[in-house]
Amino acid sequence: MNDLEENIKDGKVQDEILQPEWDPFRQVQDVEDFEFLRLAILEKLGLGASISETENKETTTSDRGGCARSRGYYVISDAEKATYLPKNKAVLDTSSLTGRLSSRTNRVNNRRFAAGMEMQKKVMADSDILKFNQLKGRKKQLRFAKSPIHDWGLYAEEHIDANDMVIEYVGEVIRQQVAEEREKTYGRCGIGSSYLFRVDDDIVIDATKKGSIARFINHCCSPNCTAKIITVDKHKKIVIYANRDIEPGEEITYDYKFPLEAEKIPCLCGSKACKLTLN
């Protein structure tokens, strides 16, 4: 065993081993090979970790040779970072544009939201028209009979799926002023129940004398259906939709949504959520 092997085995390395005359790396011409061989021998001598840590702290990127991708991980000092980070920060600083970018982003988002709403309305309208055409092709099996709620009522004779169109509320289309005069006339003639359904501020559908069996649908505070106004061929229609699945023999009901008035109309729906009055 020679002296070098004895020193390595005992963990002792004489200072003269690291002197230039003992440095085998002086024979290497390639800088990258020099670095790899130097690290390998230092690791063999047990000095690789401590020397590498020292070099990582003291050596900068400009002092290292070879390709950057061939170098190992090393810590960049704060002093070196300070030479270029402030410049990048100045280049990427957009604080002055925040207000303008935010306003532009809001406008873009608003346009997208409006476009999405229009698309959703179109899809829903197309779906309503499709269901309306299906209802015209095949009407639901319904019958009217005495109701425990009030006088006559409308009952399902078949299973009706939720969100399905049940029936159209059909009647004579009149203006609001005409509807007010007719309501007074019906009262003077002894017609206790009038079937006036408001479509909008100017249009009312009167099913008192000209209408379908949809006029027999009673009010309920917890209804199984809802009334909806749709547009078909530029004409507004009133249709009754099922809120949930309706089984045969079940009475069809919806919320009349009468406006609040001083003279109250008692509600006899008998549901757990009954508000006791229709208005």
Kindly report, residue by residue over 122-178, the tens digit of the pLDDT.
666 667 777 777 777 788 899 999 999 888 899 999 999 988 889 999 999 999 899
Q: Give, in degrees to the nearest 5, the angle at Cα 153 between 127 and 226.
A: 30
Q: Computed from CA positions of residues 71, 77, 80, 84, in that sequence, does the dihedral angle turn out positive or negative?
A: positive
What is the rounded distance in angstroms from the CA atom of residue 266 to the CA atom of residue 247? 28
* CA dist., res. 52 & res. 159, Å (int): 82
Query: What single-letter DSSP state applies at residue 246?
Result: B
The yes-or-no verdict on residue 17 having pLDDT over 50 is no
pLDDT band of 236, cuts 50, 70, 90? confident
Sign of CA dihedral 198, 199, 203, 208: negative
Whole-number Å distance between alpha carbons of 9 and 29: 30
Q: Do residues 43 and 8 make contact, with C-beta atoms less than 8 angstroms apart?
A: no
